[in-house]
């Protein structure tokens, strides 16, 4: 028999107490002040034979109860069971998380990481179960627990080291929180083997921008602790980084960047300049005062917004370099030069552009030119001769009047050739011409004049042109009123889709064919509707323009690690072809996204052929800005979020004591299984009850005898 | 002269005496004294206890040999008979109260101590005597005389006495012998000394000290105040007994020690009685549960006898 807490047996010495009390019958009960002790003498404590004989049973019972209690507290258990248990090996369950994010590429960080992991692996004992995981934006398992178990014990470490040596840090950002949750869930799973400890060892630089915040809402499983192995950077490292914040177009003069400096930066002056390495005749370095170089002073820990330097002649503005800091990996910002987008709208109408009464007046304000887009509006009337139907310069037609035969023929050919058109039905007669243009059998068109006014009743927010309004803040279409419109039979158009409908269900805006023609059943003239003064009108028309032209004016910022889909690129296409820098084209759909791996200039197009033929759009892929925040994360905050972080030293101590602690653990387990203390406690209770009963009956007997003597 | 109050059968206490426990509940010493004295006066104002006070007057027919100084000439003028004023040989009484204020007096088993009792008795006497326009003084002693107030009859004297009585004990041991010696030295005029103490001290020299007082022609009355527990020693639990004066500690089992204690105490008491008897001193042994009035009546009775003895 063994004891879990043998020191409690010392309490068994308390057994002697009742014996002592029992033998000394009269011990001083207290102190008594007395006038004078001159007539008194010291009386010796007395032991009486009588008391010993009378209460021997009680004495035994009391002693036994105390002894049982002491015995129970010492938590006894039988060793014989342990032999069978000892066969089972008890080891740690260890998840090693290796950071492979972009920040690990700095200097010798990666080599130090590998060394640290190798050292960790060498300290793993044969009974331990290990899973080697890498993490950046996602978690990859190099060796799972099952793999580890299957590997022969002597080749485990070498296999792990081998796999590790093949590993390279990626350019992705760090998602420490997700990785920890993944590992914790992995460890929390029940294992059939005996486990002495569940531990996650994180080998990382623990940078500030490691996105651990998700852990705040996560309930950390009990019994899983974290040991951070910090691959620390120099404390005085200067790291500055530039991120594009507005206008992603390199041609834009308003291209602005935020330059941010690390907290412990030693220098404050950094330079921004375009990459000139590809210049054939690389001249002398540009002088500090040149407009091709932007010098920026940023105090440590702060940021500043600056304009990009001017583009030198002969430079392809793709790479913007930042110099002046110690950390290289985040010093390049990629900017894609957007291809110029020229929109030429051929307007069919006879109104004067001067007054706000007609449609023409609003066309130019409706489609304004922007830095990325050049819009020209050409009136058919002003042309001396009809233009070539296949003229690629003319990108769209806008029909707002009754067309003559020549115009109808031209338009019919234009629509057939795939040039999009917007058809505004201003009257019944003019509206009927749409059938002619689309070569459909005519259906009756009626003029509708509501009693007072009508409003938009139904909006198809799933349509790409209206998708930007799909937000409770912008989805209010009740501000616009219509005083008259043309009613078309929607069944008369094959392949038509109403985008906006009036209250009575009649369509107001209809797409006919795929990007073929947009029909508006009411114009924006002031006598017909309030469209021209409606705040959503210009965004709506530009949305239609982008949809019809299948172009996006502003491309989103892409970061390494993002899952690329056509939707992310604001494309309404089902599938696109994307080519990452120095990589082969890949087909991307909304269901099979492409995870971006490399920073640089990517290209996308509608088809693979377009990509190879140079009809592709360029888009910049940059490192995630948070990856540049290299300052050490605050471990206090991590602990405050409920993470059980053990320092390396305590972990080391725990490791040193591991045989002892595992034996302890086994003992505890044995004891908790046998639970002998409960029986001992029960026995002590029974003895005490017995003692009470006996002493009670003895007292009663004594009382009776006194009574009888008195009587 | 009686040897001891306990030796005579007494007609009292009558049920109307104030229970000393109730009396001790009264905080003010003056009020206590007043209650006792007034209760007592109600009972005795027609009593034969008179003769030592100027307030009390009585006429006695002149007989040959009486001092003519005390002949009431006015009465003679009115009635043509000779009468002698009864107070002829009584000067104003000078009484000194000698009160033991030592630590041993602080013992008490009834909720109040021997000291309280003795002080109440002293206050009562002082009040009573002041009422009768007698001069009262005080020796308050512990290991030495803590305070001496010469006997006077004047306004504020009673207040001084009571204030002094109410003050806390200063010394530790009971220096009754020294106190008696000092009293004999300091009080030159003859008078009455009332000693209130437990006499739980060495009595070897008590005889000589009391003798000094007696030799000066003084009357001495001794009140030996004891707690009932001190008499019976009826503790039931063994305990460490702590001497109030010396701080000495002694483990005592009462059951074992009782008979021995009582025997020794009785020897001591007999010793005190013997000394007093030898000197013609009246000893009244009081336990603190007995009414103060008894002590008072004892005192008055003694005084009466003294005066009667003298007159004879």
Instruction: Give tens-digit pLDDT for B255-304.
Output: 888 888 889 999 999 988 998 888 888 888 888 888 888 888 888 877 77
For residue range A450-466, list pLDDT tens digits in order. 989 999 999 998 888 88
- Partner-chain residue, chosen from B107, B201, B256, that has the shortest CB–CB distance to A34: B107
Tell whether A495 and A541 lie within a shared domain.
yes
- Partner-chain residue, chosen from A26, A33, A41, that has the shortest CB–CB distance to B260: A41
Q: Is residue A670 part of a domain?
A: no
Total count of domains within chain A: 5
Tell whether B110 and B73 lie within a shared domain.
no
Other residues' Cβ atoms within 10 Å of the Cβ of residue A637: 13
The reply to whether residue A43 touches residue B253, judged by beta carbons under 8 angstroms, is: yes
Q: Is residue A41 part of a domain?
A: no
Tell whether A467 and A498 lie within a shared domain.
yes
Tell whether A197 and A139 lie within a shared domain.
yes
For residue range B99-113, list pLDDT tens digits in order. 988 888 888 888 888
Tell whether A370 and A487 lie within a shared domain.
yes
A25 touches chain B (CB under 8 A): no
Q: How many separate helices (H) and strands (E) can be counted in chain B? A: 10, 10
Q: How far is B131 from chain A (nearest CA, A)?
A: 34
Tell whether B196 and B281 lie within a shared domain.
yes
**In this complex, how many residue pairs, one in chain A and one in chain B, have their CB atoms less than 8 Å apart?**
88
Tell whether A365 and A494 lie within a shared domain.
yes
Tell whether B202 and B62 lie within a shared domain.
no
Tell whether B66 and B204 lie within a shared domain.
no
* Domain stop point among A498, A524, A549: A549
pLDDT band at A707 (very low <50, low <70, confident <90, very high): very low
Q: Is residue A686 part of a domain?
A: yes
Q: Are strands B135-141 and B94-100 parallel, antiparallel or unpaired?
A: parallel
Q: How far is B242 from chain A (nearest CA, A)?
A: 5
Helix (H, G, I), strand (E, B) or coil at B136: strand
A2-11, A43-52, B269-278: which range is least confident on average? A43-52
CATH code of residue A488 = 3.40.50.880
Tell whether B171 and B184 lie within a shared domain.
yes
Tell whether A518 and A438 lie within a shared domain.
yes
Tell whether A319 and A391 lie within a shared domain.
no
Contact B227, A35 (CB under 8 A): yes
Other residues' Cβ atoms within 10 Å of the Cβ of residue A533: 13
Which is it for the CA torsion A436, A440, A441, A442, positive or negative?
negative
Tell whether A258 and A397 lie within a shared domain.
no
Tell whether B72 and B105 lie within a shared domain.
no
The reply to whether residue B239 touches residue A45, judged by beta carbons under 8 angstroms, is: no
* Domain stop point among B40, B64, B89: B89
| For B252, nearest residue in chain A (alpha carbons) | A43
Total count of domains within chain B: 2
In the 8-state DSSP scheme, what is residue A452?
A: S
Cα–Cα distance, B203 to B200 (Å, whole number): 8
Helix residue spans in B107-238 (DSSP H):
114-131, 157-166, 176-186, 206-215, 228-232
Tell whether A544 and A408 lie within a shared domain.
yes
pLDDT of amino acid A682 = 93
The reply to whether residue A40 touches residue B248, judged by beta carbons under 8 angstroms, is: no
The reply to whether residue A41 touches residue B238, judged by beta carbons under 8 angstroms, is: no
Q: Is residue A207 part of a domain?
A: no
Contacts of A36 in chain B (CB under 8 A): 104, 198, 200-201, 243-245
Contact A14, A63 (CB under 8 A): no
3-state DSSP: chain A helix, strand, coil percent, rounded to 5? Answer: 35, 25, 45
Q: Output the average pLDDT for chain A.
A: 82
Tell whether A531 and A391 lie within a shared domain.
yes
The reply to whether residue B107 touches residue A46, judged by beta carbons under 8 angstroms, is: no
Contacts of B265 in chain A (CB under 8 A): 39
DSSP string, B99-124: EE-SGGGG--SSSS-HHHHHHHHHHH
Bridge partners of residue B286, in order along the sequence: B225
Structure token digits, residue A372:
């990325």
Tell whether B111 and B161 lie within a shared domain.
yes
pTM given for the model: 0.51
| For B254, nearest residue in chain A (alpha carbons) | A43
The reply to whether residue B251 touches residue A31, judged by beta carbons under 8 angstroms, is: no
Q: How far is B118 from chain A (nearest CA, A)?
A: 14
Tell whether A384 and A528 lie within a shared domain.
yes
Q: Is the ipTM of this complex over 0.85?
A: no
Higher-confidence position of A50 and A184: A184
| pLDDT at A54 exceeding the cut of 70 | no
Q: Is residue A565 part of a domain?
A: yes
Q: Is residue A36 part of a domain?
A: no
Contacts of B246 in chain A (CB under 8 A): 37
Tell whether B164 and B37 lie within a shared domain.
yes
The reply to whether residue A28 touches residue B240, judged by beta carbons under 8 angstroms, is: yes
A582 touches chain B (CB under 8 A): no
Q: How far is B29 from chain A (nearest CA, A)?
A: 23
Residue written as tokens 């209760």?
Answer: B39
Q: Residue A162: give the domain boundaries.
A: 88-202+214-223+634-664
pLDDT mean over A405-421:
89
Tell whether B190 and B72 lie within a shared domain.
no
| pLDDT at A196 exceeding the cut of 50 | yes
Q: Are strands A129-135 and A90-99 parallel, antiparallel or unpaired?
A: parallel
For residue range A111-164, list pLDDT tens digits in order. 999 998 988 888 888 888 889 999 988 899 988 888 888 888 888 888 888 888
Tell whether B120 and B263 lie within a shared domain.
yes
Tell whether B235 and B100 lie within a shared domain.
yes
Other residues' Cβ atoms within 10 Å of the Cβ of residue B125: 27
Q: Are strands A617-622 and A600-605 parallel, antiparallel or unpaired?
A: antiparallel
Contacts of A26 in chain B (CB under 8 A): 237-238, 253
Q: Is residue A180 part of a domain?
A: yes
Q: How far is A5 from chain B (nearest CA, A)?
A: 40
Which is it for the CA torsion A502, A505, A508, A511, positive or negative?
positive
The reply to whether residue A43 touches residue B265, judged by beta carbons under 8 angstroms, is: no
Tell whether B113 and B168 lie within a shared domain.
yes
For A306, A453, A555, B239, the CA distances from B265, given in Å and listed in that order, are: 111, 127, 117, 20
The reply to whether residue A39 touches residue B241, judged by beta carbons under 8 angstroms, is: no
Cα–Cα distance, A613 to A607 (Å, whole number): 10
| For B227, nearest residue in chain A (alpha carbons) | A35
Contacts of B264 in chain A (CB under 8 A): 38-39
A48 touches chain B (CB under 8 A): no
The reply to whether residue B268 touches residue A39, judged by beta carbons under 8 angstroms, is: yes
Cα–Cα distance, A122 to A96 (Å, whole number): 13
Contacts of B238 in chain A (CB under 8 A): 26-29, 43, 45
* Domain stop point among B40, B63, B89: B89
pLDDT band at B5 (very low <50, low <70, confident <90, very high): very low
Contacts of B268 in chain A (CB under 8 A): 38-39
In the 8-state DSSP scheme, what is residue A210?
A: S
In the 8-state DSSP scheme, what is residue A207?
A: B
Q: Residue B248: give the domain boundaries.
A: 5-48+92-311
For residue range A369-392, list pLDDT tens digits in order. 887 788 999 888 888 888 888 888
| pLDDT at B48 exceeding the cut of 70 | no
Contacts of A25 in chain B (CB under 8 A): none
Tell whether A530 and A426 lie within a shared domain.
yes
CATH code of residue A148 = 3.40.50.410
User: Residue B13, preceding bond cis, omega within 30 degrees?
Assistant: yes
Q: Is residue A157 part of a domain?
A: yes
């Amino acid at each position: 028999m063994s004891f879990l807490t043998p020191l409690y047996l010392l309490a068994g010495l308390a057994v002697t107490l009742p014996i002592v009390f029992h033998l000394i019958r009269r011990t001083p009960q207290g102190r008594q002040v007395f006038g004078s002790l001159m007539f008194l003498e010291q009386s010796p404590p007395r032991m009486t034979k009588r008391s010993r004989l009378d209460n021997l049973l009680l004495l035994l019972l009391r002693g036994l109860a105390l002894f049982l209690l002491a015995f129970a507290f010492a938590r006894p258990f039988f060793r014989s069971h342990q032999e069978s248990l000892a066969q089972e090996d008890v080891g740690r369950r260890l998840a090693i998380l290796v950071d492979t994010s972009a920040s690990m590429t700095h200097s010798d960080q990666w080599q130090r990481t590998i060394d640290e992991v190798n050292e960790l692996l060498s300290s793993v004992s044969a009974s331990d179960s290990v899973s080697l995981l890498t993490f950046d934006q996602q978690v990859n398992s190099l060796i799972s627990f099952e793999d580890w178990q299957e590997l022969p014990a002597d080749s485990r470490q070498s296999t792990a080291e081998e796999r590790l040596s093949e590993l390279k840090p990626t350019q992705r950002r760090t998602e420490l929180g997700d990785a920890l949750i993944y590992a914790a869930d992995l460890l929390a799973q029940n294992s059939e083997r005996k486990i002495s400890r569940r531990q996650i060892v994180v080998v990382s630089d623990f940078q500030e921008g490691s996105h651990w915040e998700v852990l705040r809402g996560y309930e950390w499983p009990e019994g899983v602790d974290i040991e951070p192995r910090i691959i620390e950077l120099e404390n005085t490292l200067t790291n500055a980084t530039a991120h594009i914040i507005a206008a992603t177009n390199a041609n834009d003069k308003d291209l602005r960047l935020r330059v941010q400096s690390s907290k412990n930066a030693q220098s404050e002056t950094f330079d921004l300049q375009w990459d000139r390495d590809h210049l054939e005749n690389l001249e002398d370095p540009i002088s500090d005062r040149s407009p091709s170089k932007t010098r920026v002073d940023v105090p440590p820990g702060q940021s500043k917004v600056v304009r990009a330097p001017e583009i030198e002649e002969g430079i392809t503005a793709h790479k913007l370099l930042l110099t002046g800091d110690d950390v290289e990996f985040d010093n390049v910002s990629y900017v894609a030069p957007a291809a110029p987008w020229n929109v030429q709208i051929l307007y069919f109408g006879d109104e004067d552009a001067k007054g706000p009464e007609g449609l023409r007046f609003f066309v130019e304000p409706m489609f304004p030119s922007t830095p990325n887009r050049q819009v020209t509006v050409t009136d058919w009337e002003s042309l001396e001769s009809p233009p070539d139907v296949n003229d690629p310069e003319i990108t769209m037609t806008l029909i707002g009047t009754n067309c003559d035969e020549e115009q109808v023929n031209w338009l019919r050919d234009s629509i057939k050739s795939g040039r999009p058109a917007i058809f505004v039905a201003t009257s019944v007669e003019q509206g009927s011409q749409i059938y002619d243009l689309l070569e459909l059998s005519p259906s009756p068109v009626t003029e509708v004049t509501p009693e007072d006014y009508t409003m938009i009743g139904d909006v198809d927010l799933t349509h790409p042109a209206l998708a930007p309004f799909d937000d409770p803040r912008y989805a209010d279409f009740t501000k616009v009123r219509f005083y008259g419109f043309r009613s078309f039979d929607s069944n008369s158009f094959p392949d038509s889709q109403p985008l906006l409908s009036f209250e009575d269900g009649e369509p107001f805006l209809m797409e006919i064919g795929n990007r073929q023609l947009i029909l508006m059943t009411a114009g924006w003239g002031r006598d017909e509707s309030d469209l021209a003064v409606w705040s959503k009108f210009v965004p709506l028309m530009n949305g239609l323009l982008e949809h019809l032209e299948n172009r996006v004016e502003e491309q989103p910022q892409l970061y390494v690690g993002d899952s690329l889909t056509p939707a992310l690129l604001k494309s309404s296409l089902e599938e696109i072809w994307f080519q990452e820098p120095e990589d082969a084209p890949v087909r991307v759909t909304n269901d099979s996204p492409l995870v971006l791996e490399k920073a640089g200039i990517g290209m996308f197009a509608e088809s693979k052929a377009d990509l190879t033929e140079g009809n592709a759009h360029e888009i910049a892929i940059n490192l995630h800005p948070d990856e540049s925040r290299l300052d050490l994360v605050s471990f206090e905050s991590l602990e405050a979020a409920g993470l059980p972080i053990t320092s390396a030293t305590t972990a080391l101590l725990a490791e040193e004591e591991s045989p002892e602690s595992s034996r302890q653990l086994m003992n505890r387990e044995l004891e908790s299984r046998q639970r002998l203390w409960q029986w001992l406690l029960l026995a002590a209770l029974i003895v005490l009850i017995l003692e009470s009963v006996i002493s009670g009956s003895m007292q009663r007997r004594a009382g009776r005898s006194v009574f009888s003597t008195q009587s | 002269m009686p040897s001891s109050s306990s030796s005579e059968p007494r007609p009292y206490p009558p049920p109307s005496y104030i229970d000393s426990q109730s009396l001790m509940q009264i905080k003010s010493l003056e009020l206590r004294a007043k209650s006792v004295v007034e209760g007592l006066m109600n009972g005795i104002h027609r009593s034969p206890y008179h003769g030592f006070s100027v307030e009390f007057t009585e006429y006695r027919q002149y007989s040959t040999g009486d001092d003519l100084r005390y002949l009431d000439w006015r009465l003679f003028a009115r009635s043509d008979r000779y009468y002698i004023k009864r107070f002829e040989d009584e000067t104003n009484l000078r009484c000194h109260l000698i009160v033991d204020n030592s630590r041993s007096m602080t013992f008490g088993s009834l909720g109040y101590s021997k000291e309280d009792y003795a002080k109440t008795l002293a206050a009562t006497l002082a009040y009573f005597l002041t009422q009768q326009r007698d001069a009262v003084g005080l020796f308050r002693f512990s290991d030495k005389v803590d305070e001496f107030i010469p006997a006077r009859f004047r306004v504020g004297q009673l207040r001084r006495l009571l204030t002094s009585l109410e003050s806390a004990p200063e010394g530790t041991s009971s220096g009754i012998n020294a106190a008696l010696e000092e009293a004999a030295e300091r009080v030159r005029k003859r008078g009455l000394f009332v000693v209130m103490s437990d006499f739980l001290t060495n009595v070897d020299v008590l005889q000589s000290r009391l003798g000094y007082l007696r030799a000066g022609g003084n009357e001495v009355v001794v009140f030996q105040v004891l707690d009932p527990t001190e008499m019976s020693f009826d503790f039931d639990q063994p305990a460490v007994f702590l001497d109030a004066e010396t701080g000495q500690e002694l483990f005592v089992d009462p059951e074992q020690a009782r008979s021995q204690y009582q025997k020794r105490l009785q020897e001591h008491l007999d010793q005190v009685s013997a000394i007093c008897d030898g000197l013609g001193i009246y000893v009244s042994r009081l336990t603190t549960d007995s009414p103060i009035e008894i002590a008072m009546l004892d005192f008055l009775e003694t005084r009466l006898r003294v005066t009667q003895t003298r007159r004879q």
